[in-house]
Structure 1
Amino acid sequence: MNRVGIRCDASTDLGVGHLMRCLALAEELRERCLEVVVLGDVGGLDWARRQLARRGLPLLPGPDGPAAMVRTARRLALDAVVIDSYALDPRCSGALREAGVRVLAIVDEDDRGQDADIYLDQNLGAERGPGGSPAGSVRLAGVRYALLRDDVRRLRRREPAEPGGRWTGEPGQPPRVLCFFGGTDAAGAAPVIAGELVATGAPFLATVVTPREGALDRLGPADGQTIHRIPPTDDLPRLVAAADLVVTAAGSSMWELLYLGKAAALVWVAENQRPAYEEVVSHGLAAGLGHLDGVTRADGPARACLRELLTRARTRAELGARGPALVDGEGRVRVADVLLSP
């Protein structure tokens, strides 16, 4: 196998989660001296284009139908195609397979009727799913197959966090909080969560990632509360590593947080995030704030949960200590091994 195509999209509405996990696999394939080309549309997102450019990954238009997909695969001499999309015609995978192109379909619970050689569902608990797949296909399920980027893998701590240990924030200093909701914050979660942090009344130093200028202007932080807005950044993994608490949506970034041993509070903003959210929260791997629409109740559990996480360093340390044993960062290696196997 010499050349692999990755079919995925990113946009303000779709977010960038599909692209980010595909980039992790692309990095692994490039390390093995394969050529990789991305087929899709990044919706004019400059940040997404930079992610591709700095990895030297060409971006070409993404075909949407079976016949066009096969023509593109033949024109580019692709030996395999990775498909990661909720919207692409599911017949594309079967058409590629019939044309002799190996297909890896990245899915989240629902395979949408795709006919692939390999199905990858990297979500916690996916290994307990029904496991059905067409004859001759392979199913890779669970977080042992989580796809993590180089930017994240190189930040792994050398020793696990311990309750009361040295990563719970500087003594006497407010906790450092990072809020991000994908590369686009399509659901507008950033101002909602930042407002809830303010409503706790607890001190904090928060960095909030949102592309919307002025999104946080109406907030009125109290004494001891600091909020700094930044646009989507290539430096997000480093910001995650430096934070005492991360508040985010229940997307593919969850596995990065677990890998890095971060205390995390999660919301779910789309129905396809709910199963993974419930799985992670029920296992005590992250704190659950519920659906974004219900976060702002003054007497609700979300605000109380945030207040405890802001004021109790030990709670944060205990929460963050559970993830590294579960996500070892070698998922992309395992996936590439199967994709490249005879």
Structure 2
Amino acid sequence: MRVGIRSDASNQIGTGHVMRCLVLAEQLRTQGVEVIFFCYHFPGNLISYIKGKGFPVHVLSHSTMIGNLRSNWRKDAEETIEFLRQYPCFDYIVVDHYDLDYRWEAAVKPFADQLMVIDDLANRRHYCDSLLDQNLLPNKEKRYQQLIQQDTVLLLGPRYLLLREEFKMTKLHERKRSTIARILVSFGGSDPTNETYKALRAITQLQDQHWQVDVVTGTSNQQIKELRHLVELHENIQLYEQNNHMSELMAEADLAIGAGGTTTWERCFMQLPAITLEVADNQFEILNHLHAKGFIYHLGKNSEVKTVDIKEALCRLSDTPSLLQRMADRLAHFRENVDHRSVSRFMLKEGTND
């Protein structure tokens, strides 16, 4: 079985799309599936990282501007198809990209038995055999009704969470999270708006607290030198660059500070309460819904959240142990409903026509 994955990472769009596709790729590889990635060489790409994981990458070359993809979808499709023709058959093409829609999908679909879209925006039409949206939303069954074909199979909700194996294997600590001793700060691999620094400023200004702080960011973070300097001034803060043991840090933490995206569901699975800021428009609905359910403490859009707002949230959670514990208890129910291999099992069944 052979699967092609079309996705990108960059300083501008972040690393989340590629990272969740890598989860799927690694699950498929354990079942003997050959997986090939198709990516652009954007600034902040993860091409070397993907190759380091043992997957071949076909580097697309027609454009170096991210904003051109939506208007140049045809060239993107043509170059992808040119490569696909070199192989007798692709059982699946998976596309995880906000700038590609039904036009690209319709052009590429004839060159594979099945085409799957990974999406969470529900803001454009799709032409695919199956669509995956792993997010927890109150109206998830209706969001795509007018955007897909009648026979498109929908894989919706956290049951289909693309969760790295390390999270499934990491044991949760048997302890109450009613007090804060350790905080995890992470805003993704690139953090283009420098929310990490904002959160650290809030923590360090609360000098009467003695928290241990773990900070995780990626090598594509443009403010890494600034972060290193701040961390050097505080013995209680540890900085991890491109950390591969996030699940262990989440298991150790009592509270996280971060954004939306893929890491939201990792935190939820690890029953880790979080203070969140939305750093992209597509995070608004999800984070507000999770806040309403009592899963997280959401502060709002990053541009409107100041250091003092994070400080106030930290003080409230520190001074109200019952609130922190209630968040952790509600997250336990989320974990029970996750089946982290559902997507790969579905693909293997469809791909073999079993």
1:144 correspondence with 2:159: yes
Please state how far the C-alpha of 1:308 moved relative to its aligned partner.
Answer: 2.3
Kindly report which structure 2 residues correspond to 1:83-162, keeping only aligned pairs within 5 A, or say none: 83-88=95-100, 90-110=102-122, 112-125=124-137, 127-132=140-145, 133-157=148-172
Please state how far the C-alpha of 1:282 moved relative to its aligned partner.
Answer: 1.2
CA distance in 2 between counterparts of 1:220 and 1:62 reads 40
Quote the residue 2:68 is aligned against.
none
List gaps (5 residues or longer) in structure 2.
Answer: 62-74
% identical aligned pairs:
25
Quote the residue 1:262 is aligned against.
272
1:182 correspondence with 2:188: yes
1:235 correspondence with 2:250: no
Question: 2:27 is aligned with what amino acid?
Answer: E
CA distance in 1 between counterparts of 2:230 and 2:200 reads 11
Please state how far the C-alpha of 1:35 moved relative to its aligned partner.
Answer: 0.8
CA distance in 2 between counterparts of 1:290 and 1:149 reads 27
The 8 Å contact of residues 38 and 59 in structure 1, kept in 2 or not, is answered as yes
Q: Kindly tell me: are residues 221 and 128 of structure 1, through their superposed partners in 2, closer, same or farther at Cα, counting changes over 3 Å? A: farther
SS at match of 2:286: helix
1:271 correspondence with 2:292: no
CA distance in 2 between counterparts of 1:51 and 1:227 reads 26
Quote the residue 1:52 is aligned against.
50
Please state how far the C-alpha of 1:216 moved relative to its aligned partner.
Answer: 6.3
Quote the residue 1:207 is aligned against.
214
SS at match of 2:25: helix
The 8 Å contact of residues 258 and 322 in structure 1, kept in 2 or not, is answered as no
Pick which of 90-99 and 264-273 moved more. Answer: 90-99
Quote the residue 1:316 is aligned against.
324
Q: Kindly tell me: are residues 329 and 72 of structure 1, through their superposed partners in 2, closer, same or farther at Cα, counting changes over 3 Å? A: farther
Aligned length: 327
1:130-155 deviations in Å (ceiling 9; x for gaps)? 34120321111111111101122211
Whichever structure has more helix as a proportion of its residues is: 2
Quote the residue 1:246 is aligned against.
256
CA distance in 2 between counterparts of 1:312 and 1:204 reads 16
CA distance in 2 between counterparts of 1:256 and 1:141 reads 17
Question: 2:142 is aligned with what amino acid?
Answer: G
Question: 1:20 is aligned with what amino acid?
Answer: M
Question: 2:91 is aligned with what amino acid?
Answer: D
1:339 correspondence with 2:354: no
1:73 correspondence with 2:84: yes
Please state how far the C-alpha of 1:73 moved relative to its aligned partner.
Answer: 2.2
TM-score by length of 2: 0.82
Kindly report which structure 2 residues correspond to 1:278-297, keeping only aligned pairs within 5 A, or say none: 278-296=288-306
Please state how far the C-alpha of 1:128 moved relative to its aligned partner.
Answer: 3.9
Please state how far the C-alpha of 1:15 moved relative to its aligned partner.
Answer: 0.9
Quote the residue 1:36 is aligned against.
35
Please state how far the C-alpha of 1:118 moved relative to its aligned partner.
Answer: 0.7
Please state how far the C-alpha of 1:122 moved relative to its aligned partner.
Answer: 1.0
Please state how far the C-alpha of 1:91 moved relative to its aligned partner.
Answer: 1.7
The 8 Å contact of residues 4 and 82 in structure 1, kept in 2 or not, is answered as yes
SS at match of 1:203: coil
List gaps (5 residues or longer) in structure 1.
Answer: none
Question: 1:27 is aligned with what amino acid?
Answer: E
CA distance in 2 between counterparts of 1:152 and 1:311 reads 30
The 8 Å contact of residues 181 and 189 in structure 1, kept in 2 or not, is answered as yes
SS at match of 2:135: coil
SS at match of 2:183: strand
Quote the residue 1:12 is aligned against.
11
RMSD over equivalenced CA pairs, Å:
2.8
Please state how far the C-alpha of 1:217 moved relative to its aligned partner.
Answer: 4.0
CA distance in 2 between counterparts of 1:197 and 1:206 reads 9
The 8 Å contact of residues 177 and 324 in structure 2, kept in 1 or not, is answered as no
1:76-118 deviations in Å (ceiling 9; x for gaps)? 3322111001123642211122344411100013252221111
Q: Kindly tell me: are residues 116 and 127 of structure 1, through their superposed partners in 2, closer, same or farther at Cα, counting changes over 3 Å? A: same
Which of residues 193, 197, 202 in structure 1 aligns to 2:203? Answer: 197
CA distance in 1 between counterparts of 2:241 and 2:231 reads 17
Question: 2:23 is aligned with what amino acid?
Answer: A
Q: Kindly tell me: are residues 124 and 42 of structure 1, through their superposed partners in 2, closer, same or farther at Cα, counting changes over 3 Å? A: farther
Please state how far the C-alpha of 1:123 moved relative to its aligned partner.
Answer: 0.9
CA distance in 1 between counterparts of 2:178 and 2:49 reads 31
Please state how far the C-alpha of 1:286 moved relative to its aligned partner.
Answer: 0.8
The 8 Å contact of residues 7 and 62 in structure 1, kept in 2 or not, is answered as no
CA distance in 1 between counterparts of 2:318 and 2:204 reads 11
